[in-house]
Structure 1
Amino acid sequence: MVRSRAGMAAGAVLLAASLVLAACGSAGGGGGGDEGADAKTLTLWHYEGPNSAMGIAWNEAIKQFKAGHPGVEVKFEEKSFEQIQQNAGMILNSDSAPDIMEYNKGNATAGLLSKQGLLTDLSDQVSKRGWDKELSPSLQTTARYGPDGVMGSGKFYGVPNYGEYVMVYYNKDLFAKHKVAVPTTLPEFESAMDTFVKAGITPLSVGGGEYPAQQIFYELALSKADRGFVDNYQLYKSKVDFHGPELTFGAQTFADWVGKGYLAKNSASIKAEDMGVAFEQGKFPIMISGSWWYGRFAKEINKFQWGTFLFPGNKLHPGSSGNLWVVPAKAKAKKLAYDFIDITMKPEIQDLLGNNGGVPVAADAGKISDPKNKELIDNFASISSADGLAFYPDWPAPGYYDVLVGGVQGLINGSKSPTAMLDEIAKPYNDNLADIGK
């Protein structure tokens, strides 16, 4: 997936401005009793590029939806990740709310909106249409939210139909040229990067201006973590010590990596899109990011051989179900939205997703033809079955995405020490705990 987190800030501002007049005064509940059974228009928003695995699969789903719903118009609008991330509350609390929308999962996003009454409870539809049978318990974690907006239990407020996880992309040609072997431990990984630094090459393509850098920080913390730490951090099962061994190692090692030249200090302002393009152009031998890049790289990288490996030595990895299909409480065509979700879960759509570099949740493994795509899916299955999905670092609290971006940027440009960075990210996390009475 080409995740459109590439900071379309101007578009986000314009979108917010356009919704101010439409915004209503209260969060509101569900739609009409017939859930728009007679509606003749389905308004759908998502932020996947048309050439991404999800974009390809969902375009086919739209075609199948139209064929099965003659006389119904589909109004599809592609938004950026940032537009929806920054303005979802206003969007869904207005008469401009779409009928179905792709939305980020986690306490700070889908959980917050469910708590505010802005999303439709999909539990009956999940059971009626058998979606729960297609989703493993670990994938259901991000689809279900309690009254306090904390994920992992309660009602279904979204449905994922793909998975995702963070891995290491590498330039095989550059590894071979510099006689670097694929590392299997963190010390080996650092030794590999030392080799590139000595050759005058910055090893890591990093986007510090958006999500990628904080995921590296989290990978490093997870190298010292267990499931208990993840459950405490993500699900609030117990108090998190921000100066404990896990997060301290993550912050200190990230700062050390900057000092050793593993990533450039100017990467603090680099956007995710620019990070990915730089890797595609062969400017960096390594990029740590998610499976959403996989399909794009398969189509666009043709000047060198590339591959992937899991973050060396880790048993836990950033990852989860993919983003969710959510149905706004104010949607005017809920039944049509449910029908569309159902199509995206069909085997042929899932197989199409898998054959274009995505990670389907319900594909037939025998129908995945490309060996690289099969490896991608098999790795996800291996992580998921071993309870190795650790979600993402920005999920626990509303607004935490921006907090972590700023915190890790401070480590990159040297304006914050690891201790100061951890103090900075601890406060809003703990403030949110107090707000929800944890």
Structure 2
Amino acid sequence: MFRTSRTAALAALAAAALALSACGGSSDSGSSGGGSQGKTLTLWHYEGADSAMGKAWAEAVKEFEASHPGVKVKFEAKGFEQIQKTAGMVLNSDQAPDVMEYNKGNATAGLLSKQGLLTDLSEQAAKRGWDKLLSPSLQTTAKYDQRGIMGSGKWYGVPNYGEYVMVYYNKDAFKKQGIEVPTTFDEFTAALDTFVKAGITPIATAGAEYPAQQIFYQLALTKAARPWVDSFQLYKGKVDFHGPELTYAAQTFADWVKKGYIAKDSAGLKAEDMGVSFIGGKFPIMISGSWWYGRFQSEIKDFEWGSFLFPGAQLTPGSSGNIWVVPEKAKNKDLAYDFIDITMKKEVQNLLGNSGGVPVAADPSAIQDAKSKELIENFNKLTTSDGLAFYPDWPAPGYYDVLVSGVQELINGTKQPAQVLDEIAQPYNDNLADIGN
């Protein structure tokens, strides 16, 4: 889930269109065997090559080509923001890929399913056993109803990994300041104070993309219970944007900036900037997702690092991972189904787990790496305790940008927390009116 700037999205989209128009499509009647001779499966995803998913899916491509003689996989790397901004336009054209990684939730996959841009995968999920491999909680993001709301209805996507937000920390930096791993929220803020007193800004984050809004949401979750999450995410009740959960989040986030826990210049930073700064040892803490785990395993060489669940919270941002979707206008749908099936196989799932990912169908005994075991164990703690609370940008189309703007205002101090809450409430409530809730 490494996300790049959207400034080059339109140029990249144009280049992709030229490339795709040259690759030649065919009908969706082909599958493995002679009927697929000479075909091309066009695959888009935005995982880094060194990430756990990137490694696992590269292996899946090899297995797919080996089991489909004469078929080539045309892989095109895309940035998260690029797909986020252009998916509706691309999938409504004849330049749609055959299979694509896409963000899950009402505002993204749900919106495209409602618009008729995604293929109904319900028959394939039953035929190929995906409905048996994925637990009910992980199926939440695979299914969408007629309104585009997740949790029920038809299958429009298939997740093959899990993910959640955690606290990454520099063990050497903690040791130097005499800080133990915090187990309560008070201990965590005491650790942050210790770093500030030592002249160190503790938390690496990025306000121009998703990381800062996930911290904001995590703070709200420290005051929330499952019914609040169901109201916010699934529209099962009314959300008070000036209630205790979001008021606490906005005020505390603003206070963290004032106290020096979060740098004021982080408002203009992107996720890659954040990750590189943590890898370089410039910040002792980074609050972000499990999608960074494999990269940190590969790239952090100069210090010892670890992770822990956010202290003092029973709920954590997280869910199944992003989902494979098959565009309605895909030219080789059967090949797409075959590729998705391979990513669910134990060999690929085991590789994902041993590379720092969170597999959904691995053999537990095949996970050998100690850090990977810890990662998966923490995810299992969250799933067994019903602790996954999805992500803050999911409820409404365009809400990602609304939250980016709002959190940037908290970092810059250009608006008071109550004003920011008013700003993020309006688009949410407008969306409820649009879908008739």
Taking structure 2 as the reference length, the TM-score comes to 0.95
Do residues 114 (structure 1) and 104 (structure 2) align? Answer: no
Q: In the aligned structure 2, how far is the partner of 1:60 from the partner of 1:180?
A: 41
- In the other structure, the counterpart of 1:386 is 385
Do residues 11 (structure 1) and 8 (structure 2) align? Answer: yes
- Name the amino acid aligned to 1:171: N
Q: In the aligned structure 1, how far is the partner of 2:157 from the partner of 2:97?
A: 15
- In the other structure, the counterpart of 1:124 is 123
Do residues 265 (structure 1) and 264 (structure 2) align? Answer: yes
How far apart are residue 382 of structure 1 and its match? Answer: 1.1
How does 1:211-230 map onto structure 2 within 5 Å?
211-230=210-229
Q: In the aligned structure 1, how far is the partner of 2:17 from the partner of 2:148?
A: 25
* Equivalent residues of 2:205, 2:266 under 8 A apart: yes
- In the other structure, the counterpart of 1:145 is 144
Compared with structure 1, are the counterparts of its residues 33 and 175 closer, same or farther at alpha carbon in structure 2 (3 Å cutoff)?
closer
- Name the amino acid aligned to 1:301: I
How does 1:11-410 map onto structure 2 within 5 Å?
11-17=8-14, 34=29, 38-39=35-36, 40-410=39-409
* Equivalent residues of 2:31, 2:338 under 8 A apart: no
* Equivalent residues of 1:208, 1:267 under 8 A apart: yes
How far apart are residue 50 of structure 1 and its match? Answer: 1.1
**Which consecutive residues of structure 1, in runs of 5 or more, have no partner in the other structure?**
23-30
* Equivalent residues of 2:28, 2:331 under 8 A apart: no
How far apart are residue 4 of structure 1 and its match? Answer: 2.5
How far apart are residue 11 of structure 1 and its match? Answer: 2.5
Q: Number of aligned residue pairs: give it.
A: 428
Compared with structure 1, are the counterparts of its residues 283 and 433 closer, same or farther at alpha carbon in structure 2 (3 Å cutoff)?
same
DSSP-derived class of the 1:180 partner: coil
How far apart are residue 17 of structure 1 and its match? Answer: 4.8
Q: Deviations over 1:287-307 (max 9, x none)?
A: 000000111101111111111
Q: In the aligned structure 1, how far is the partner of 2:341 from the partner of 2:3?
A: 27
Q: In the aligned structure 2, how far is the partner of 1:35 from the partner of 1:89?
A: 26
DSSP-derived class of the 1:320 partner: strand
* Equivalent residues of 2:4, 2:82 under 8 A apart: no
Q: Deviations over 1:224-275 (max 9, x none)?
A: 0000000000001111000000011110100110111101101100110010
Compared with structure 1, are the counterparts of its residues 15 and 36 closer, same or farther at alpha carbon in structure 2 (3 Å cutoff)?
farther
Q: In the aligned structure 2, how far is the partner of 1:166 from the partner of 1:404?
A: 17
Q: Deviations over 1:191-221 (max 9, x none)?
A: 1100000010001011111000000000000
DSSP-derived class of the 1:10 partner: coil
Q: In the aligned structure 2, how far is the partner of 1:19 from the partner of 1:429?
A: 33
How far apart are residue 14 of structure 1 and its match? Answer: 1.1
Q: In the aligned structure 2, how far is the partner of 1:422 from the partner of 1:332?
A: 44
How far apart are residue 35 of structure 1 and its match? Answer: 6.7
DSSP-derived class of the 1:42 partner: strand
- In the other structure, the counterpart of 1:412 is 411
Q: CA RMSD in A?
A: 1.7
DSSP-derived class of the 1:251 partner: helix
DSSP-derived class of the 2:278 partner: helix
Q: In the aligned structure 2, how far is the partner of 1:236 from the partner of 1:78?
A: 34
How far apart are residue 21 of structure 1 and its match? Answer: 10
How far apart are residue 13 of structure 1 and its match? Answer: 1.8
Shift >6 Å, 4+ stretches: 19-22
Q: In the aligned structure 1, how far is the partner of 2:7 from the partner of 2:13?
A: 10
* Equivalent residues of 1:62, 1:74 under 8 A apart: yes
- Name the amino acid aligned to 1:390: A
- In the other structure, the counterpart of 1:26 is none
* Equivalent residues of 1:36, 1:332 under 8 A apart: no
How far apart are residue 83 of structure 1 and its match? Answer: 1.0
Taking structure 1 as the reference length, the TM-score comes to 0.95
How far apart are residue 10 of structure 1 and its match? Answer: 3.1
* Equivalent residues of 1:16, 1:90 under 8 A apart: no
Percent sequence identity over aligned pairs? 71
* Equivalent residues of 1:139, 1:321 under 8 A apart: yes
- Name the amino acid aligned to 1:321: S
**Which consecutive residues of structure 2, in runs of 5 or more, have no partner in the other structure?**
20-25
- Name the amino acid aligned to 1:395: W
How far apart are residue 347 of structure 1 and its match? Answer: 0.4
